[in-house]
């Protein structure tokens, strides 16, 4: 598992969105609540609601991302999980599923067909958001 920059994470999320690669999303809150969903990344801007064509124009910090069961375009009643825009400390890591920290190894079993993961850890809030996928 390696730490990656926000720019690298933006590029990877852009690829997942543009190529409509199926992902499994997982979120764990500070209270211990968990949410899981399988679907597609929808990477949109907060201002226009339109997808960007240029991966360098997007920003996870300002725009966030959604994983929806319907894929683009979002159909809210079909379910989605949202990573909101954030302005707090975030540690981003990318790797192969066997490199997951011990406390997250159970996720590798749940999302068995996925080879890679992208994790967003928010230490100030003790929250964790991850995407599991195979490119």
Q: Where are the beta strands (DSSP E) in the chain?
A: 2-3, 22-28, 34-42, 65-68, 80-83, 91-96, 116-122, 127-133
**What's the predicted TM-score (pTM) here?**
0.81
Write out the chain's pLDDT in tens, 135 residues: 789 998 899 889 888 988 889 999 999 999 999 999 989 988 655 444 444 444 445 567 667 788 888 766 666 667 878 787 677 788 999 998 788 778 777 776 777 677 899 999 999 999 989 999 988
């Amino acid at each position: 598992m390696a730490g990656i920059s926000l720019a690298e994470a933006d590029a990877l999320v852009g690829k997942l969105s543009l190529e409509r690669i199926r992902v499994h999303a997982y979120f764990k809150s500070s209270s211990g609540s968990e949410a899981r969903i399988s679907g597609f990344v929808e990477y949109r801007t907060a201002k226009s609601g339109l997808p960007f064509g240029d991966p360098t124009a997007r920003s996870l910090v300002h725009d966030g991302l959604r994983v929806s069961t319907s894929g683009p375009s979002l159909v809210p009643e079909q379910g989605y999980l949202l990573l909101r825009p954030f302005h707090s400390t975030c540690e981003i890591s990318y790797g192969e599923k066997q490199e997951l920290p011990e406390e997250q190894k159970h996720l590798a079993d749940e999302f068995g067909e996925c080879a890679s993961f992208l994790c967003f850890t928010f230490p100030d809030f003790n929250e964790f958001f991850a995407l599991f996928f195979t490119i």
